[in-house]
């Protein structure tokens, strides 16, 4: 059997670990041949196929990013997108495609499965928002990076007695903000799942200053004030119809400064959260996902995605993974309620 491997959407730590596990298990245990699809769905549309063997994946376990490249290309935006992908796979004798990605990439994979194309999905995203799995790889590394940044910002905030607003990624789900904010000892955590009251945030900030303690505010990029709408710098859309987020941190810092009379600065972590060496957990999870994905191919259980449930790797329909966004459980509001606006 000949297997194609594709990484789509934003890069994240652990992608290379997953590719490595897929290829090594596939070649050494099952005797499969492999090709890589360059630059996500763009390569599937345009015939960007490269050789992929054990030699190609040696030494990539600790590397960030993806050796195959990625893009936010949406093949479903083209009328003949499915036909072009089918043609690319046929011309390169690819029997099944392993698609590693987040909700957009997996949504395309689910559509291809509906069209009769052999696809197996692997969930990755730093946002941890793919439905059907407890965790995605990339998330743990992003949280560790954000937590270290918050730790460092505490000292400079204290030195200058100012508020520091830390903007982290999270379009529709506040998992990074919640985990890094709690781990880093933030005083306010704002997430997309719950619109916040700017006046209440400023009240919390002022209370911290009363005890001579400089506050740290962690805000997810998709967080929204109650009296307003999502704040963005750039209103243009990508091919999946998403606004390119960023701007809520700067907006919030200005509001805090104007309302409290105290200086507030913003740190936007941005792509720093996605880059660099994956954590041990992300290497471990990506490897487990890769091994189970190629076993799923061996059993020809196409149209499914591997997922983590507790400590077990299970299979779920791709349609389930693409059905919606996994957001922060409301029960956590009660547990950490003091941190929310």
Residues 198-235 have pLDDT tens digits of 998 999 888 888 777 788 999 999 999 987 766 666 65
Q: At 265, list the tokens.
A: 């600065």
Is 273 assigned to a binding site? yes
Judged against a pLDDT cut of 90, whether residue 332 lies above it is answered with no
Question: What is the rounded CA–CA span in Å between residue 24 and residue 21?
Answer: 5
**Highest mean pLDDT (candidates 77-91, 289-303, 327-341):** 289-303
Q: What's the mean pLDDT in 71-78?
A: 89
Is 185 assigned to a binding site? no
Question: Does residue 127 carry a catalytic annotation?
Answer: yes
Is 126 assigned to a binding site? yes
Fill in the DSSP letter of residue 138: T
- Strand boundaries in 192-282, DSSP class E: 216-220, 234-237, 243-244, 264-268
Q: At 51, list the tokens.
A: 């050789």
pLDDT band at 341 (very low <50, low <70, confident <90, very high): very low
Is the CB of residue 289 less than 8 Å from the CB of residue 18?
yes
pLDDT band at 242 (very low <50, low <70, confident <90, very high): low
**pTM of this prediction?**
0.91
pLDDT of residue 20: 98
pLDDT of residue 85: 96
Burial 54-93 (b: 16+ CB within 10 A, else e): eebbeebbebbbbbbbbbbbbbbeeeebbebbbebbeeee
Is the CB of residue 84 less than 8 Å from the CB of residue 2?
no
Selected catalytic residue, list 11, 39, 127, 282:
127
Q: What's the mean pLDDT in 281-306?
A: 97
Among 72-81, 142-151, 228-237, 301-310, the least confident range? 228-237
Note every long-range contact of 238-244, with CB atoms under 8 Å and residues 24 or more positions apart, other chains counting.
238/72, 239/72, 239/73, 239/74, 239/77, 240/72, 240/74, 240/104, 242/104, 242/171
The closest alpha carbon to 163, from 260, 247, 246, 272, belongs to 260
Is 313 assigned to a binding site? no
Question: What is the rounded CA–CA span in Å between residue 341 and residue 333?
Answer: 10
Is 125 assigned to a binding site? yes
């Amino acid at each position: 059997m000949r297997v194609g491997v594709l990484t789509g959407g934003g890069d994240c730590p652990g992608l290379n670990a997953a590719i490595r596990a897929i290829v090594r298990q596939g070649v050494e245990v099952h005797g499969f041949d492999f090709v890589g699809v360059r630059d996500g769905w763009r390569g599937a549309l345009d015939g960007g196929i490269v050789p992929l063997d054990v030699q190609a994946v040696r030494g990539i376990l600790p590397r960030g990013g993806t050796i195959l490249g990625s893009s936010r290309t949406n093949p479903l935006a083209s009328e003949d997108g499915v036909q072009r992908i089918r043609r690319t796979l046929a011309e390169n004798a690819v029997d099944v495609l392993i698609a590693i990605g987040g909700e957009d990439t997996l949504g395309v994979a689910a559509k291809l499965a509906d069209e009769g194309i052999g696809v197996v999905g692997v969930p990755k995203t730093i946002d941890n928002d793919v439905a059907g799995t407890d965790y995605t790889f990339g998330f743990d590394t992003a949280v560790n990076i954000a937590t270290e940044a918050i730790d460092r910002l505490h000292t400079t905030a204290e030195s200058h007695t100012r508020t520091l607003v830390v903007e982290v990624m999270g379009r529709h789900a506040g998992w990074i903000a919640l985990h890094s904010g709690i781990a880093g000892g933030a005083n306010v955590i704002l997430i997309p799942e719950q619109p916040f009251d700017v006046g209440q945030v400023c009240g919390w900030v002022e209370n911290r200053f009363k005890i001579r303690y400089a506050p740290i505010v962690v805000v997810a990029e998709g967080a929204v004030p109650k009296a307003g709408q999502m704040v963005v710098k750039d209103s243009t859309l990508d091919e999946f119809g998403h606004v390119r987020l960023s701007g809520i941190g700067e907006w919030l810092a200005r509001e805090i400064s104007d309302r409290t009379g105290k200086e507030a600065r913003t740190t936007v972590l941005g792509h720093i959260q996605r880059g660099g060496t994956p954590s041990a957990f992300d290497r471990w999870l990506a490897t487990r996902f890769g091994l189970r994905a190629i076993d799923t191919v061996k059993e020809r259980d196409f149209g499914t995605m591997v997922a983590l449930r507790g400590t077990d790797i299970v299979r779920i329909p791709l349609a389930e993974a693409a059905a919606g966004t996994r957001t922060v459980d409301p029960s956590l509001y009660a547990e950490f309620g003091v941190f929310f606006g």
